[in-house]
Amino acid sequence: MIDDKLQALGIALPPAPRPVASYVPAVETGSLLFISGQLPIRDGALIHTGRVPDAVTLEAAKEAARQCLINALAVAREQLTTLDRVVRIVRLSGFVASAPDFYQQPAIINGASDLLEAVFGVAGQHSRIAVGVVSLPLNAPVELDLIMQIKDP
């Protein structure tokens, strides 16, 4: 069970974060679940702010990507009731607020990718993009979204 894997990794999923604008946290259609963009929010606040590497180190940004993923899993659990309905992770899209001469976005998004594989095993291996952007909502250093293949309850 996925909850057992999370517990073994020392992860307690928080309540699903509420949207910060006019959208829904997740949309389930057919055998897919689309998770809206998640920010590195913990206990109601961003854990880091600013661009990488000017205001946020590479390691802190990887931590932020991991927190984004934890929030995405919380949204998925709320939508699906159980993460055991996840068949596989299809796609992870990662966005990093980056200085103009920063090119290590993939290393930052590994913070989320590595956790997906630790939680879901082979089913956590996914297609991915990791891009640098000028800015992100609320001055977050990282934002990500997910597409998951799911099974019927």
54-63 pLDDT, tens digit each? 999 999 999 9
The DSSP line for 84-108 is GGEEEEEEEEEEEEB-TT---HHHH
Which amino acid appears at position 76 of this protein?
A
Is pLDDT at 20 greater than 90 in this prediction?
A: no
pLDDT tens-digit profile of 121-144? 999 999 999 999 999 999 999 999
Question: What's the pLDDT at 99?
Answer: 97
What 3-state DSSP class applies to 48? coil
Q: 66: part of which helix (H) or strand (E)?
A: helix 58-80
- Domain residues for the domain of 92 are 2-150
State the pLDDT confidence band at 153, using cuts at 50, 70 and 90.
Answer: confident
What global pTM score does this model have? 0.97
- DSSP-derived secondary structure letter, 145: E
Q: pLDDT tens for residues 52-95?
A: 999 999 999 999 999 999 999 999 999 999 999 999 999 999 99
Place of tokens 């997740």: 26
Contacts of 85 (CB under 8 A, 6+ apart): 150, 151, 152, 153
Residue 63 in tokens = 């931590």
Q: Is the dihedral of CA 12, 147, 121, 3 positive or negative?
A: positive
Count how many domains the chain has.
1
Q: Is 98 left (phi over 0), alpha (psi -120 to 50) or beta?
A: beta
Encoded tokens for 115: 């956790």
The CATH number given to whatever domain includes residue 57 is 3.30.1330.40
